[in-house]
A = this chain, B = another copy of it.
Amino acid sequence: MRRRAIVTGLAAVAVLSIGTPSFGQTDPLPSWNDGPVKMAILDFVARTTTAGSADFVPVLERIATFDNDGTLWTEQPIYFQVAFAMDRVKALAPQHPEWKGLEPFKSLLEDDKAALAAMGEKGFLAIIAATHAGLTTADFTKAVLEWTATARHPRFNRLYTDLVYQPMLELLQFLRANQFKTFIVSGGGIEFMRPWTERIYGIPPEQVVGSSGVTKYVLQPDGVPVLMKEAKVQFIDDGPGKAEGINQFIGRRPVFAFGNSDGDQQMLEWTAAGPGARFMGLVHHTDAVREYAYDRNSSIGKLDKAWDEAVRRKWAIVDMKNDWKVIYPFELK
């Protein structure tokens, strides 16, 4: 990755200095095929970063926001955070003998996928609540790091953090090389992402916006404070919540935003509603062979209304199968 990053950085400078998309050996997006989305990205970055351009955007206003699940990494067959929570139930089961007779834990521990699926979102929320509360933020971070270092995706037999999209890593790097500040704005849990986003995406914790639970400041008997995670929702960063979260956490409107599902529609609308040049993009999952193919009828990452709006308003839509030469970084090795 290091060599690629340097090449990408040079390419960005090249684009910057000549003001038009630059290709060939300095291609900043080598894993993207030369289709309309790649062209639109290169054109947008050139227009907004070239001094004197009518579309020039000052450095401080170059805010780029990215959804995470399905936009920066895979979200099938279940959201990775749900896989984490389910693994945690199994790990914690010896300390909770009552779970053997209590749903949804019973079905989960018996590996009864049909019963679990029938419980739907309610079951998953109970699992999340039971596994994301009652411990300190430090212990939760430790649990996340242990899980991301060991758990493997059932289909690819890879670490979950290996299942990030190579073309999007290049895009993040290209934007940063052009002085955009890259943020994650995810419906996922903020404390589930922060322990590893810097290492994997180059996005530091303070640039991660997400859903969160209430924490409580507690002074321990020895006088050392901890933050206890409570089973109470603080903020849901999804749908309209993404525009609200951007306002609360960033306080500036993005000029560039990328999502992949109806949960990202309002983030894209909010981005589009600002003055001047704007870039709105969606990842359409069209590659059942290399990744997954799903859209309007998926229970995870449903892309329906946002798709219609993107078509109508001519937002960029990535066709994964045709726009991306590779999906995952490990394909390059």
Contact = CB atoms under 8 A, between A and B. Distances in A.
B194 A251 contact: yes
A243 to B, nearest CB: 5
A243 B225 contact: yes
Specify which of A208, A248, A269, A273 lies most central, judged by the most chain B CB atoms within 10 Å of its CB: A248
A225 B266 contact: yes
A217 B60 contact: no
A206 B254 CA distance: 12
A212 interface: yes
Contact of A251 (B208, B248, B252, B266): B208
Given A60-B204, A204-B60, A227 B243 contact: yes
A304 interface: no
Given A208-B251, A244-B216, A251-B206, A225 B269 contact: yes
B205 A252 contact: yes
A244 B205 CA distance: 15
Nearest to A217: B240
Interface in A27-53: none
Nearest to A248: B212
B270 A206 contact: no
A143 interface: no
B247 A249 contact: no
A186 interface: no
Given A225-B270, A225-B273, A273-B225, A252 B206 contact: yes
Interface string A211-223: 0101111010000
How many copies are assembled? 2
Nearest to A191: B251
Contacts of A286: none
A250 interface: yes
B60 A251 contact: no
Contacts of A98: none
A26 interface: no
B198 A217 contact: no
A315 to B, nearest CB: 14
A137 interface: yes
Contacts of A194: 251
A102 interface: no
A130 interface: no
Interface in A221-257: 224-225, 227, 234-235, 240-241, 243-244, 247-252
A190 interface: yes
Q: Which are the 6 A-B pairs with shortest beta-carbon distances?
A: A205-B251, A217-B240, A194-B251, A206-B250, A217-B243, A215-B244
Interface of A: 60, 63, 137, 181, 190-191, 194, 198, 204-208, 212, 214-217, 219, 224-225, 227, 234-235, 240-241, 243-244, 247-252, 266, 269-270, 273
Given A215-B248, A227-B243, 20 more contacts: A60-B198, A63-B206, A190-B248, A190-B251, A194-B251, A205-B251, A205-B252, A206-B250, A206-B251, A206-B252, A208-B251, A212-B248, A215-B244, A216-B240, A217-B266, A225-B243, A225-B270, A227-B247, A234-B235, A249-B249
